[in-house]
Amino acid sequence: MAMIKTLVFAGGPIHDFRGVGTAAREGLAGAGDFDIDYLEEDLDALLAPRLEPYQLLVFYYTIGSLTDAQKNGLLNWVNSGRGFVGIHSAADSFRECPEYRALVGGHFVTHPRYRDYQVSITDRAHPITDRLSEFIVRDEQYILDYDPRVQVLATALWQGQAMPVAWTNAWGKGRVFYLALGHDEPAMRQTMAQLLLVRGARWAAGVREE
């Protein structure tokens, strides 16, 4: 079995990036088909020469800003056919960078209190959500403004409206998966969050589920 060369990157203020990054790394490692490097805080990891060895980037970050070289390194790398997985606050990174927001497919607006809520699957035919049904998570629900062209895979209700919890997006030849779950380490370690992360990472890397 070919291993998926993966960079798990975590950083930024506000969130427990180390706890979430560790939970994401361990979840992917447990799947058995990811060859993982783990890095925190150093956004120069997005420069073109440093991203080049990787097939997949799993990204958890909040706020911050990108230099042009970092931005172009990331965007061009994904465009060339690589995979990007954004977890939770990846939709609240680099607020002054519209190109990054377009890559992710949406951005954070607000959130209700941390609580239990139900996630519904809206596309049971997609490889990431194949044969899944409703489930309950304890997490911070992100309310997002998103591009209507993204493919929404799962939603949760907020004030009577269905808000996306997971979607896919295209960026050139690359694949993007965004998962709104994973505010903190306990949330990221929940069974369904881990399952969606692993499936989404495989999909973004262009690997079919067995």
Ordered structural domains, the chain, with CATH: 4-204 (3.40.50.880)
- CA triple 198-202-39, angle to 5 deg: 70
3-state secondary structure of 199: helix
3-state secondary structure of 133: coil
* pLDDT beyond 90 at 72: yes
pLDDT in tens, 133-161: 999 999 999 999 999 999 999 999 999 99
pLDDT at res. 209: 66
* Token pair for 34: 């990811």
Spatial distance between the Cα atoms of 24 and 16, rounded to a whole number of angstroms? 12
In this structure, what DSSP letter does residue 44 have?
G
Spatial distance between the Cα atoms of 32 and 153, rounded to a whole number of angstroms? 25
Beta bridge partners of 57: 7, 84
In this structure, what DSSP letter does residue 149 have?
T
Any residues with CB less than 8 A from the CB of 49 and at least 6 apart, and which?
none
Question: What mean pLDDT is predicted for residues 103-120?
Answer: 97
* pLDDT beyond 90 at 14: no
pLDDT in tens, 80-107: 999 999 999 999 999 999 999 999 999 9
Output the furthest CA–CA distance in the chain (Å, rounded): 46
